Structure 1
Amino acid sequence: MTWAVYLWQLGVCLCAIGLAPLFAGWVGQCRALLQNRSAPSLWQPYRVLRKLFHKEATLANDASWLFRGAPYVVFAAMVLAAAIIPSLTTELPAARVADAIALVGLFATARMFMALAAMDVGTAFGTMGARREMMIGFLTEPALLMVLFNAFLMAGTTALPAIVQNTLTQSQVTLHPSLAFAAVAFVMVLLAENARLPIDNPTTHLELTMIHEAMTLEYSARHLALIEWASWLKLFNYACIGFTLFAPWGIATHGVSPGGIALAMLALVAKLAVAGAALALFETASAKLRLFRAPEFLTMAFLLAVLGLLVHLLLKG
């Protein structure tokens, strides 16, 4: 029944919205344990959201409708991106009508609104953060597209569900050198896009280092809660994109059923646990790069993705 499919689509979106803070809490807990610090609770992000939603919002005198509306647009873009990514099943409407190019467009839309809102109030920190964010986006988007093109050429389509089905229906597991290069490039893009080390540090507000945090300093209460929730959801979405491209095992491909979704949920939670621990380990072992070294880091990601593309074309030829 059509209505049942749309209910499953809504359930998948709610699952992503609910799991994103938990995933962020897991990364923070693993990072604290690796650094021999007292680890915060897994539920700390939920407590932060509850506290912020119960506070009264304070707005700058010069804030326009753009500043007030940007958190809602950014959060909605991340929710729509979660609906497109086949994190649990490939049989959902949104995943079949929008491809990965539209997904990159959603991330770019969220970045644009964040940058414009940061410059809207005219503060020095907001403008500085917006310029740095656009510089990072200018370098990460081509690298992400090159990563996706590797998967597109192998699957013959830009639709993420078809990429998952193509990978799972292969008769045997084979090592694709092009995907190895693309996977390394994708991890580098994930770190930059989500303001993680070595590009940015989400736990600091130092003027010379912060990028994403500089754009959120003027937000408070419900607006800040939506911005934080959207950033956690973006990290969750990027992790699910990585699972879709490089580790799609566990995703339901044969219809939508409670049993299949339950198994896919268990597989997703397991993959998120491994990915969160790996991310925390990498951040613990990494040092913050100076800002002018960030273009070199992201240029390397782009070159690795292009190298993977060339390797695929050479092996195919």
Structure 2
Amino acid sequence: MRTIDWVDDAIVIIDQTALPAEERLLRLTTVEELIAAVRSLAVRGAPALGVAGALGVALAVRIGSDLEEQVRAIETARPTAVNLARGARRAASRIPDGPEAVLEEALAIRDEEIAASAAMATRGADLITELCGPRPRMLTHCNTGALAAVTVGTALGVVLELHRRGALGDVIASETRPLLQGARLTAWELSRAGVDFRVAVDGAGPFLMARGEVDAVVVGADRICANGDTVNKIGTYAHALGAHRAGIPFLVVAPESTIDADTPDGAAVPIEDRTQDEVNGSFPAANPAFDVTPHDLITAIVTDRRVIRPAEKW
């Protein structure tokens, strides 16, 4: 099943807010419904958001009113992940050619992300085996599987490819507070795949690394800056620090479409702050959705085309 697709002139998504209790599909027929799904995290993950942005423009063109305003609303529905705006702009570039051309471009983006996931899974699994040897024990954060990337996934795609090869130890899925994308979504995907795993609270990750229970950390990315700084779900930075201290590889797996050469470093990225109600409905709360991992803490970035060593010039 694809996380997001175009079916009978509508966008169809797996509602990620309902998992793991219910596997529910949402049919989105207006731009407003798409934007609400993006903001509520019914659809999320950088590659899936890129497809959502493109298909949203295809939907807007079919509706045919206030196109410029609707495209801008799609682009800015979530500000941190670069794929959403990039997908919307690419599809919008075909507006002069008509609705079918826009849809064709959006579906091309979907198909490119599917192919990219397969390539990253293979390249990432090869690199992990090279760095860690047979049956590495992995820690991952947030959700980076098919739910985040149409099919297969990014970082979790690497984990599942190692499992497919019979070359995976166990997996620790970091809970990912406050919305539990790890404890809900990654755990759901790992369970369906038959992978041995444990869920751990976010703060336990660095200590589990220090205790020798993790051989490598593998995460995704919502934006990779020109210098290699990486923006990902809040909590990623702490895992990078833990991996650095423990002397184990810290890998970022993300498609080339996530690299933003126009943003020099992590300090230039707008970080989305979400409502305090997600954390605590009674007291004031800080709730940044993302953090920045400096490039010098990253062992390698694995894309669908190459392996990048951020500590080196690239």
Q: TM over 0.5, yes or no?
A: no
Counting helix residues as a fraction of each chain, which structure ranks higher? 1
Q: TM-score when scaled to structure 1?
A: 0.25
| Higher RCO, 1 vs 2 (CA within 8 Å, ≥6 residues apart) | 1
Counting strand residues as a fraction of each chain, which structure ranks higher? 2
- Larger CA Rg, structure 1 vs 2: 1
